[in-house]
Amino acid sequence: MSAALEDLYQQLIIDHSRRPRNFRALEAPDRRLEGFNPLCGDQVTVYVKLEGDRIREAAFQGSGCAISTASASLMTESVRGKSLEEVERLFQAFHALVTGKGAGREVELGKLAAFEGVASYPARVKCATLPWHALRAALAGSGQSVTTE
């Protein structure tokens, strides 16, 4: 990746960590689930409204580091309107990207590609994936909370 593009991606993460989008509780959510990353102290609650098998709206609240906040912000933007199957494919591609396995090019990551640099910092992978683990557990309807440990 060129230096300019790398800088742009970092700007995107900084912007979303400072002004997170969809940072609110949804009223009467179909799904709500809390996630914790004890390694870093990140905490996120994910709210989802469904329409059939599609995500109508996703939002989050919580406190955490810049990476986890930006990841939750960009995730809630990215999954809006997507089917549960599409969300799962997006997660798999995102997970591959941040763990340095290379995102499957068959999935369009869009802005989520900004997290490519996380692969160089293994300790931050859980920060980036925490909101996704919470979202997946919420969609699976499994329990009230999830932890990365």
Q: Give contact residues for Zn ion (rule: CB under 5 A).
A: 40, 42, 65, 68, 127
Give min distance, CB of 122 to Zn ion, in A.
13
Give min distance, CB of 37 to Zn ion, in A.
6
Give min distance, CB of 66 to Zn ion, in A.
8
C-beta of residue 60 within 8 angstroms of C-beta of residue 42: no
Burial of residue 114, with CB atoms counted within 10 A of its CB: 0-12 exposed, 13-18 middle, 19 or more buried: buried
Give min distance, CB of 64 to Zn ion, in A.
5
Q: Give dist(CA 75, CA 4) in Å, integer.
A: 24
Angle made by CA atoms 31, 104, 60, in degrees to the nearest 5: 25
| For Zn ion, the closer CB: 22 or 43 | 43
| For Zn ion, the closer CB: 34 or 42 | 42
> In Å, how far are 23, 44, 141 from 145, measured between CA atoms?
19, 10, 10
| For Zn ion, the closer CB: 55 or 133 | 133
| For Zn ion, the closer CB: 39 or 84 | 39
